[in-house]
Chain A
Amino acid sequence: MNNVSLESIAKSFDASKPPAVKDVSFEVSDGELFGLIGPDGAGKTTLFRILTTLLLADEGKAKVAGCDVVKDYKQIRKEVGYMPGKFSLYQDLSVEENLNFFATLFGTTVMENYDLIKDIYVQLEPFKTRRAGKLSGGMKQKLALCCALIHRPKVLFLDEPTTGVDAVSRWEFWEMLKRLKTEGITILVSTPYMDEASLCEKIALIQEGRIMSIDTPMAITAAFPKELFAIKAENMSQLLNSLRDNELVQSVNAFGEYHHITLVKDSGTPDAFTDRLPMAIEWKTIEPTIEDCFIHMMSA
């Protein structure tokens, strides 16, 4: 029973402001890699803190590994690993000392669970006597993950582990998560990067404290209600403005090399108005990304 469930969870910090999270319900199955996807301020950290028993919800119920977050908080604390968004290890202890410290806190030893962290720790080993505060960003992140794993948790909470990390290191981090999954650990990970959503088995899209959608990444993109086109021209900012002014176009969003558009009429294609644009364009039909879906849900 390594699952997680939330039922109508709500939390407010300031009565004069909208709640941080409101009516949040979802389930994470045993051994699942579950992603909480949303921008800063969406409520991701609040949910993680409620689930790791660091914060009490105002309303609702939640269970982690079969334990209630209020009644059984002591048990939960033994069974989860938590890597907060902010680096929270002891900066003036060395790599080794941090790891030993956390192992001791949980009544275990580094040796006992070394197999679990081995792949990650070997990269840290050359720096094991270095103070944690002197490590590079990528190395800090790896050490924090090792410390969160050292007591072999049933459920692992990773709050924005890849924020501010470059694309290559982000990819490496997700490779590590995939390996951990094979150990049967349930993993909840939050991220503001929409492109990481497809690496999760199941995702919840969250915005302003509310869950907009929960499903597999494929099911979410499959549910996109319109036909989507990618369109480009020599002058992209001029094209963007022309498309915004075009009454046949329902939505237009810049997506790097292309703009993504949907049309008011679903039977149409961009051919219907190419002659009315002040420039030559290229277009194609495309599959929506999670980011397309997120934007669509935000504006719905």
Chain B
Amino acid sequence: MTGEVAISTDKLTKRFGDFVAANEITFDVKKGEIFGFLGANGAGKTTAMRMLCGLSIPSSGQATVAGFDVYRQTEEIKKNIGYMSQKFSLYEDLTVWENIRFFAGIYGVPRSEIAPRAKEKLRQLGLYHQRNQLVASLPLGWKQKLSFSVAVFHQPEIVFLDEPTGGVDPVTRRQFWDLIYEASDQGITIFVTTHYMDEAEYCHRISMMVDGYIKALDTPTALKQNYGAESMDEVFFELARGAQRKGD
């Protein structure tokens, strides 16, 4: 990790009528950092993430993502980030190879670079021999690993991962984190949400959102110390138990 900043927010706020979904959230994420974005359902995580991805214009406050402004430069943001969620799937009726070519094309990867890079990625993943198979025929764990590779294929500055390991078997879940570490070592910033508290431990730093506010932000070790907790589970309970909002 270098000292460069990948994401910077200052009192970023989103209101829907009287409802303040994200309330003056302020934090920095460093380049290459694995940043865990945690919170109870309804805490405002999705709202915050949508603003950072350039999909929703904030009500007030400031933020830059990969150096681009979340009000004026949303198209530049979209080009410089990758995104994957548990629900987001590749095109099931395209092959592995076609999916990569399609998304690489969308993100403007030069045509001459797509094939050699795709070959290398698929070899690394152990999916090269399945390259002409329809994505629908792959086991879920492989789909998720492939989705991640597609999300970082255009070498974005930041990749947003929204519950990427939900429902995945415990072995694949760990292989997935190997991929995350690898991307982080290459300088890609990882912004990740999860409901698995053991995965929170793998993040360099964690923020905990409660009722639209960022209630805590620190390394896992420091959070556990500050809350006198044995595990991240306890920290989460301590913070989220007082939540007023119960929602999605």
Q: Which residues of B contact A171 (CB under 8 A)?
A: 237
Q: Which residues of A contact B174 (CB under 8 A)?
A: 253-254
- Which residue of chain A lies nearest to B137 when distances are taken between CB atoms in the complex? A17
Chain A 236-262 interface residues, beta-carbon cutoff 8 Å to B = 236-237, 253-257
Which one of B64-72, B113-121, B193-201 contacts A?
Answer: B193-201
Whether B247 lies near A136 (C-beta < 8 A) is: yes
Q: Bits for B189-222, please: 1 = Cβ < 8 Å to A, else 0.
A: 0000001111111100000000000000000100
Whether A256 lies near B246 (C-beta < 8 A) is: no
Whether A40 lies near B140 (C-beta < 8 A) is: yes
Known pairs A17-B137, A137-B248, A294-B170; A167 contacts B236 (CB<8 A): yes
Q: For the complex, is A295 an interface residue (Cβ under 8 Å from B)?
A: yes
- Which residue of chain A lies nearest to B166 when distances are taken between CB atoms in the complex? A164
- Which residue of chain A lies nearest to B241 when distances are taken between CB atoms in the complex? A168
Q: For the complex, is A169 an interface residue (Cβ under 8 Å from B)?
A: yes
Known pairs A165-B41, A165-B195, A168-B237; A256 contacts B168 (CB<8 A): no
Whether A40 lies near B168 (C-beta < 8 A) is: yes
Chain A 32-75 interface residues, beta-carbon cutoff 8 Å to B = 38-42
Q: For the complex, is A291 an interface residue (Cβ under 8 Å from B)?
A: yes
Q: Which residues of A contact B196 (CB under 8 A)?
A: 193
- Which residue of chain A lies nearest to B196 when distances are taken between CB atoms in the complex? A193
- Which residue of chain A lies nearest to B230 when distances are taken between CB atoms in the complex? A257
Q: Which residues of A contact B140 (CB under 8 A)?
A: 39-41
When chains A and B are docked, how far (Å) is the Cα of A169 from the Cα of B241? 9
Q: Which residues of A contact B197 (CB under 8 A)?
A: 167, 256
Whether B236 lies near A168 (C-beta < 8 A) is: yes
Q: For the complex, is B171 an interface residue (Cβ under 8 Å from A)?
A: yes
Q: Which residues of A contact B232 (CB under 8 A)?
A: 256-257
Chain B: number of interface residues, binned into ranges: 35 or more
When chains A and B are docked, how far (Å) is the Cα of A39 from the Cα of B141? 9
Known pairs A168-B241, A298-B170; A255 contacts B198 (CB<8 A): yes
Whether A166 lies near B195 (C-beta < 8 A) is: yes
Q: In the complex, how many angstroms separate the beta carbon of A125 from the nearest chain B beta carbon? A: 14
Q: Which residues of B contact A164 (CB under 8 A)?
A: 41, 86, 163, 166, 195
Interface hub of A138, A139, A167 (most chain B Cβ within 10 A): A167
Q: For the complex, is A98 an interface residue (Cβ under 8 Å from B)?
A: no
Q: For the complex, is B55 an interface residue (Cβ under 8 Å from A)?
A: no
Whether A167 lies near B166 (C-beta < 8 A) is: no
Interface hub of B41, B199, B236, B241 (most chain A Cβ within 10 A): B41
Q: In the complex, how many angstroms separate the beta carbon of B9 from the nearest chain A beta carbon? A: 22
Q: In the complex, how many angstroms separate the beta carbon of B126 from the nearest chain A beta carbon? A: 16
Whether B246 lies near A192 (C-beta < 8 A) is: no
Whether B40 lies near A295 (C-beta < 8 A) is: no
When chains A and B are docked, how far (Å) is the Cα of A194 from the Cα of B197? 12
Interface hub of B86, B166, B220, B237 (most chain A Cβ within 10 A): B166
Q: For the complex, is B42 an interface residue (Cβ under 8 Å from A)?
A: yes
Q: Which residues of A contact B167 (CB under 8 A)?
A: 39-40, 163, 192
Whether A169 lies near B198 (C-beta < 8 A) is: no
Whether B163 lies near A257 (C-beta < 8 A) is: no
Whether A295 lies near B236 (C-beta < 8 A) is: no
Whether B195 lies near A207 (C-beta < 8 A) is: no
Q: In the complex, how many angstroms separate the beta carbon of A285 from the nearest chain B beta carbon? A: 17
Q: Which residues of B contact A294 (CB under 8 A)?
A: 169-170
- Which residue of chain B lies nearest to A16 when distances are taken between CB atoms in the complex? B137
Q: For the complex, is A88 an interface residue (Cβ under 8 Å from B)?
A: no
Q: For the complex, is B177 an interface residue (Cβ under 8 Å from A)?
A: yes
When chains A and B are docked, how far (Å) is the Cα of A255 from the Cα of B199? 8
Q: For the complex, is B139 an interface residue (Cβ under 8 Å from A)?
A: yes
Whether B40 lies near A166 (C-beta < 8 A) is: yes
Q: For the complex, is A182 an interface residue (Cβ under 8 Å from B)?
A: no
Q: Which residues of A contact B94 (CB under 8 A)?
A: none
Whether B246 lies near A169 (C-beta < 8 A) is: yes
Q: Which residues of B contact A42 (CB under 8 A)?
A: 169
Whether A167 lies near B200 (C-beta < 8 A) is: no
Whether B139 lies near A138 (C-beta < 8 A) is: no
Interface hub of A136, A171, A193, A256 (most chain B Cβ within 10 A): A256
When chains A and B are docked, how far (Å) is the Cα of A236 from the Cα of B172? 19
When chains A and B are docked, how far (Å) is the Cα of A256 from the Cα of B223? 14
When chains A and B are docked, how far (Å) is the Cα of A169 from the Cα of B236? 12
The 3 closest A-B pairs by CB, nearest first: A136-B247, A256-B198, A39-B169
In the complex, 26 of the A-B residue pairs with CB atoms within 8 angstroms, ordered by the A residue number, are A41-B140, A136-B42, A136-B247, A137-B42, A139-B247, A163-B167, A164-B86, A164-B166, A165-B41, A166-B39, A166-B236, A166-B240, A167-B233, A167-B236, A167-B237, A168-B40, A168-B237, A168-B241, A169-B246, A192-B167, A193-B196, A236-B202, A254-B198, A256-B199, A257-B220, A298-B170
A interface residues with partner B (beta carbon < 8 Å): 17, 38-42, 136-139, 163-171, 192-194, 207, 236-237, 253-257, 291, 294-295, 298-299
